[in-house]
Chain A
Amino acid sequence: MQEGYPESLDRVIRALSKLPGIGPKTAQRLAFYLVKSPSGELEELLQALADMRRKIRFCARCGFFSEEELCRICQDTSRDAHVLCVVERPQDIFALERAGFKGRYHVLQGVLSPLAGVGPEHIRIPELLKRIQEESVREVILALNPSVDGEATALYLAQKLSAFPVKVTLIARGLPSGGDLEFADEVTLAQALEGRREIRVSLGKEAL
């Protein structure tokens, strides 16, 4: 017990400080707030947590958050089933949805990382290979983080997927929007050069 808090309060502080990004100071602040919180607010939070605990699971097919066997994206028949986008974590899907992606997803739940002891059997690579065999996928887009381990994982997957009749693409790396070229670091610029694409010019009369 720290600084003489009553045991129940101390337990809440310790439990909160285990959450990612929450240090002991923030945990204390949150706990003090909860103690004083208006009636009903704490009950609502407890109910919401209990509900989430009971209902949320990972989609049996893609690994996204879901309240049913299959998530809403996998159930949506209007989406393009030929294009499969592979991501590291379920929360990456929100970002891609905001960007307007209309295909389906596969969550790996991590990337290969020898330093963290993560090998191919620890993430959802076998499930991915199984889906490629069973579903009518024509293109696999690897949308992994542009980290060293993310890239090594993408290369590993590309090699594994080369055994199947699917096109494998990697989302473009390189220059972020905004900023000046002269300040780009060599890794970013090298990736931008490698990922260059042909500019198709179609000048209509109105453009002239």
Chain B
Amino acid sequence: MSRYSLDEGIVLKTVDFGEIDRIVTLFTRKKGKVQAIAKGARKMGNRFGASLDFFSFSEFLLYATRGMPLIVQGKIKKTFRDLVRIPLRWMAGEYVLLLVDRLFPFERPEEKILEEILFLWETFLRCGGSIQPLLLRFRLDVARVLGVFPELLECVLCHRELHSACASFSISLGGIVCDTCATKAQELSFLSWQELQLLRNLVDVPLGRVVQSRVNSQVFQSLDMLLSRYLSYHGEGRVPSFTSFAGCEFSW
């Protein structure tokens, strides 16, 4: 079998290595999250160009070694680099990278998530509306592919469907808890009817229409926090909420 392989994907993270090299964490179609070495990547005018920077979707030629594979070549297929022009969207664009880097194990391909990131970046670039619904939906989709999608329809304890009224949400039990069962469960988060409805809607609508959903900033902050805590509990590593990632001191 050839030691060369072609794959395509994006860069999650890079770390300088040695004098002129970089260790790059990629998220690729065939391999998922994978670390590789890019020789000479710190030199100006190197053969990788911007393919090893954030917001590039590229084709990579990899060479297998006994240790980390080498990135032999990187060719940009599409760039979303103009995200840097809109500070909040630059941060949102990097936030999804952090989620994938921290929550997914190595070598587990998740094409749907890769496609969704590309869709998100495209939308962050082109769409004038609010990006908040997409940031919530993305985390629900991440939970789904990680196999930890929260129960949003019925009480996780008595399995009664919840049709109206506020609910409680249990991070450890993985879903909503009705008022009757709430006394039996511990460490519950409050979920207003409006918030629960929004979560249900975000899951139901096609990805392309998520951006039309309306989220007021208070609801966003509360769900932003809840979903990050939820993923931190069930995923591989801890993730901050977008609000704290973007930092309140980042006043533009």
Q: Which residues of A contact B (CB under 8 A)?
A: 20-21, 114-115, 119-121, 146-149, 151-152, 155-156, 159, 176-179, 184-188, 190
Q: A21-B17, A120-B250 are in contact. List 6 more A-B contacts (CB 8 A).
A: A120-B249, A152-B84, A159-B252, A187-B50, A187-B79, A188-B50
Given the contacts A159-B252, A186-B79, A148 and B49 also touching, CB distance less than 8 Å: no
Say yes or no: B54 contacts A121, CB within 8 Å: no
Nearest CB on B from A116, distance (A): 10
Chain B residues in the interface with A (C-beta under 8 A): 13, 16-19, 44-45, 49-51, 53-56, 75-76, 79, 81, 83-85, 87, 90-91, 94-95, 97-98, 245-247, 249-250, 252
Across chains A and B, which 6 residue pairs bring their CB atoms closest together, nearest first? A176-B45, A187-B50, A185-B49, A152-B84, A21-B18, A148-B54
Complex CA gap A73/B103 in Å reads: 47
- Closest chain B residue to A21 by CB distance? B18
Q: How many A-B contacts at CB < 8 Å in the complex?
A: 67
Contacts of B49 in A (CB 8 A): 184-185, 187-188
A114 and B91: CB pair below 8 A?
yes
A188 to B19, CA, bound (A): 23
- Cα distance A146–B245 in the bound complex, in angstroms: 23
Residues in chain A near residue B97, CB distance under 8 A: 115
Q: Are B44 and A155 in contact (CB under 8 A)?
A: no
Which residue from chain A places its CB closest to the CB of B48 in the assembled complex? A185
Residues of A within 8 A of B252 (CB): 156, 159
| Selected A-B contacts with CB under 8 Å, 17 pairs | A21-B19, A114-B90, A114-B247, A115-B13, A115-B94, A119-B247, A119-B249, A148-B54, A148-B81, A151-B81, A152-B87, A156-B87, A178-B45, A185-B75, A186-B79, A188-B49, A190-B79
Residues of A within 8 A of B55 (CB): 148
Query: In whole Å, how far is B191's beta carbon from the nearest beta carbon of chain A?
Result: 28
Say yes or no: A114 contacts B245, CB within 8 Å.
yes
